[in-house]
């Protein structure tokens, strides 16, 4: 299903995720890749103090895969472009590629960019990876709290470098730190296209999906 987007003013409409989503079968090849990712991530985190990548916490990738597969199968999309905000190891971007999305990923931390490059090469997956900031220029002013973890990353904004805008993406995925989910929603609400979807991992066993609709 595909429908065209118009950009600008909108509001976010929650989409109820099927209650049985966490019982969906995960293909053996995906399950094996996710098991290998878990080992790599654990090894990285065992020496996290060497990397100072304290902002990286891994989502529940099995649940993210199950939800992403459900979204891909059941939800109308304005296009096929997917972006992972703050990708860490880029696991979710690789899952999106496996599900047929044109996957992009953005990460601020240099050590995590190295890990993401390795994931993409080993998988192998087609993911456009950018070392920099997922926030569009000017988005910081939406934050009520200046200490939110997504703020203060000095890198270049990805969209200018890609010669694109956030409203060129049909599906955004993020795993916000506790307390910054509303900020991610506000950024998406301001900059995404009408019709685009935001999928968030918001804690153990909890995914949230919403679509920007005309106000
Ligand atoms: C909670 S982790 C989530 C990692 C991965 N997306 C996942 O679902 O497992 C958040 C990641 O976002 C990165 N990050 C935070 N703010 C960022 C920003 N403004 N631009 C780019 N990366 C950012 C952090 O370095 C960290 O790797």
Tell me the two tokens of residue 97: 């590629």
- What domains are there in the chain, each with its CATH number? 10-214 (3.40.50.150)
pLDDT at 51: 64
DSSP state letter for 2: B
Locus of tokens 């590629």: 97
Candidate of 45, 56, 151, 191 to mutate for ligand 1, largest count of ligand atoms within 8 Å of Cβ: 56
Tell me the two tokens of residue 122: 């080993």
Tell me the two tokens of residue 19: 């209650």
Candidate of 34, 51, 82, 86 to mutate for ligand 1, largest count of ligand atoms within 8 Å of Cβ: 86
The Cα 100–Cα 151 span in angstroms is 31
Residue-by-residue pLDDT tens, the chain, 215 positions: 333 344 467 899 999 999 999 999 999 999 999 999 999 999 998 875 666 788 999 999 999 999 999 999 999 999 999 999 999 999 999 999 999 999 999 999 999 999 999 999 999 999 999 999 999 999 999 999 999 999 999 889 999 999 999 999 999 999 999 999 999 999 999 999 999 999 999 999 999 999 999 98
130 has which bridge partners? 106
The Cα 48–Cα 58 span in angstroms is 13
């Amino acid at each position: 299903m595909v429908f065209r987007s118009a950009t600008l003013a909108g509001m976010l409409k929650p989409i109820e995720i099927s209650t049985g989503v966490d019982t969906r079968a995960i293909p053996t090849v995906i399950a094996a890749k996710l098991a290998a990712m878990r080992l790599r991530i654990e090894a990285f985190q065992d020496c996290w103090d060497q990397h100072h990548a304290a902002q990286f916490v891994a989502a529940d990738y099995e649940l993210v895969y199950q939800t992403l597969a459900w979204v891909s199968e059941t939800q109308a999309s304005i296009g096929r472009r997917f972006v992972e905000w703050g990708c860490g190891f880029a696991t979710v971007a690789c899952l999106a590629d496996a599900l047929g999305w044109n996957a992009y990923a953005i990460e601020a931390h240099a050590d995590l960019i190295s890990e993401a490059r390795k994931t993409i090469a080993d998988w192998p997956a087609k993911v456009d990876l950018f070392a920099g900031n997922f926030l569009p220029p000017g988005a910081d002013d939406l934050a009520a709290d200046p200490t939110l973890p997504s703020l203060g990353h000095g890198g270049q904004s990805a969209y200018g470098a890609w010669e694109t805008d956030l409203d060129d993406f049909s599906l955004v995925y993020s795993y916000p730190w506790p307390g910054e989910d509303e900020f991610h929603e506000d950024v998406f609400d301001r900059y995404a296209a009408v019709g685009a979807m935001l999928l968030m991992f918001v804690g153990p066993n909890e995914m949230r999906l919403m679509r920007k609709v005309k106000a």
